[in-house]
A and B are shown apart, each in its own frame.
Chain A
Amino acid sequence: MAPTPAPPTPKPVVTIFGTYGAGAKQVGQGVAHRLGLPYFGPAFSSEAIEGGPEDVREHEAEFLTKMMAVLAAAFGVNVFPHDDSVQRHKQELIEENLRQVQGCAHLGGVMVGRHGALLLADRPNTVHVLLTGSVEDRIVRAATESGIAREHAARRLEREDHVRADMAIALFDWDPRTPDRYDLVINTSRIPLDGVVEAILAAVRAVAP
């Protein structure tokens, strides 16, 4: 009897959760380019909302509105007290997120956000990365990249990390800022971004079957 062929090796996936201004976009795009694989940006971003196609903006607006109902419920306020809309919204958001993550897992690539470290925890050929850095450095980087004033970036930083974490906790009961699900936790105040890219590529090679 002929031996059963081994299942094909899945393409590499790198998941990145970055605190605001830690460089997730540049690092993610850099790693994706070097791997020759797609880059999947965060599920929503200021840049996409401000300049993206109309249907993308509408999708993100719908996502955010449902997310606000779920977050309000997590804080004890049911904005739909007479039906189960909040539960339905939560289920829809979870299913949509899973679809996006499964799409990335199928194609291989670099994915920022979307709770990838949690949802792809057991996927082979996968590296999970948390990027952080000093508050001051993150503010400066975000202001420079986004072309906004330092004060604007500082105010974004103050809330954005909390809000993104609140979303993960409300949907998946998981705080993405805790390091235990990551293979690499990198301080981009200490390691230049091109060095971060190299470190992630080394980790990808190390986990390759």
Chain B
Amino acid sequence: MDYQDDRRRDTYVALHEWHTRTGAPLDWEQVIFPEEVLKWASADPEVSLLLRHRY
């Protein structure tokens, strides 16, 4: 596993946070095409902070 792949790391974190905060179910297409969730994550101050500071 390439642990230096920031996009994959951010995708996994953002998808989990998106589900937790919105309550909407995740589906496989979101994992493969996470653009909308990543956009949401970057616009949410708390998630942005999580992505920047938890590692």
Contacts and interface: CB of A to CB of B under 8 A. Distances in A.
Interface residues of B, number: 24
A170 B1 contact: yes
Of residues B3, B19, B50, which shows the largest number of chain A Cβ atoms within 10 Å of its Cβ? B19
Contacts, number: 92
A46 interface: yes
A75 B12 contact: yes
Interface string A102-126: 0000000000000000000000000
Given A61-B25, A155-B33, A163-B32, A78 B54 contact: yes
B-side interface mostly: helix
Interface residues of A, number: 34
Interface of B: 1, 3, 5, 8-9, 12-13, 15-17, 19-20, 25-29, 31-33, 50-51, 54-55
Given A76-B55, A156-B32, A163-B31, 20 more contacts: A45-B28, A49-B29, A57-B25, A57-B27, A60-B28, A64-B26, A64-B31, A68-B16, A72-B9, A72-B13, A76-B3, A77-B9, A77-B12, A77-B50, A77-B55, A78-B54, A162-B5, A163-B32, A166-B8, A170-B1
